[in-house]
Structure 1
């Protein structure tokens, strides 16, 4: 069989497939399958492809040169049908070789299209999941920020002067019914604005001190008596005692229930340092008598009372579970009888500058 080399890679593949078909069908006479292509013009700017191997380099003794995409028996049957319709064996072989080549290429194209369609189907699904996660995170941030900054006290939660609320209290809200602590902490950590702060702080639980998780908003609060710049006093060695000032007519109620919180859920205190009852921050009231209660802060902390100091060095306490400083934390109670004496009357008002 005479094999003619061509310059086109596609036709070379078709020629080899046709050669294989002729070998399979038993037609071994020498034939010219394809004519040589016309010579390109010398002025063409395209580089000429590398020359095909010479006819002598093609090994025709092997049973197959290129594995057909279709079954050989099927190709032989199709070739006979084409010959019966009036086509020459060469034309039939060439047509079937082209069909085999195109079928293989179209099959690869279909597989590529199927993979592309699957990727396009999965891509919207992933986008929907990402959008859903972002929506859930945004809803969590908005709801949690509203509770911690505005509505915690109205909802019945105990909020500290520094803005901290127990995580266990927050999780009782209906919005967090599908949340546990780990999911809640992850949502706080993933907040885009970094609006929340988690802290492990001591609390009085079941008759003893225990560290529990607290959460607060970093931004400003609208709840009265709450300021995120306030700090909790944890080292009672630096704050050994505190003084509470009130009128003597409140003693009967205090002796029965303890020192109760104000409407802002805080108890204002004054600091006692090294034997001095008051120092710099006591405002003397214009009463004839005042009641001064000295509190042992270490004992009060063990009974569930929490102490705080503001940025301008004002001291506050938050009562125990009952909202009071119990009598067991009292160090002593003193009734002060104040008498104002005009030592040097002021020329404008007539009142003295000093206090006695």
Structure 2
């Protein structure tokens, strides 16, 4: 209750400021603005924003809503974005010791989070896909084709078990991706590269010792924008 009460007080200034949930400021939907701000704070910027993040990636909601960047939002705004996010990017829970409300991002971190409750993919498990899909952009294809996929500043390379919308796939790539690369999961796992399921069914891998998935694990690549076509791996 303490977390909820403080959350509502912290959001009182702007949460009920007459704009409504779908009010606009600068042409952007209020929920979209909150989702983007949450993504930055929970995946990348907690330390520089002065927010205390636990080893498993959670931040107290009362601390978040007291931060200047979030004071215009209420607890109800936060709960709505978590519940209605189409990719289920965030998780709310009661702190296991004191019951205060906490929030975290399910994946996408550039900061090290030691316990994201990831589940290791087992090659003989019924839910282990034969291929996984990585979404990208055609402008990056020459580099990807020669150097492979890299996790860059993130802790994992993100993959999906299929194309968005297919077989219940909701996340794993951006909606505007115009390139997909298919990865032979079993071949990569045989070479010792681990893969994990996040809570919202995104496949994550740290890659090899260099943080990469080499081109030898690619099975095919598709250009998605019309006319859709398969790209050469050579």
Q: Provide the TM-score with structure 2 as the length reference.
A: 0.43
Higher relative contact order (CA 8 A, sep 6+): 2
Q: Which has the larger radius of gyration?
A: 1
Structure with the higher fraction of residues in helix conformation: 1
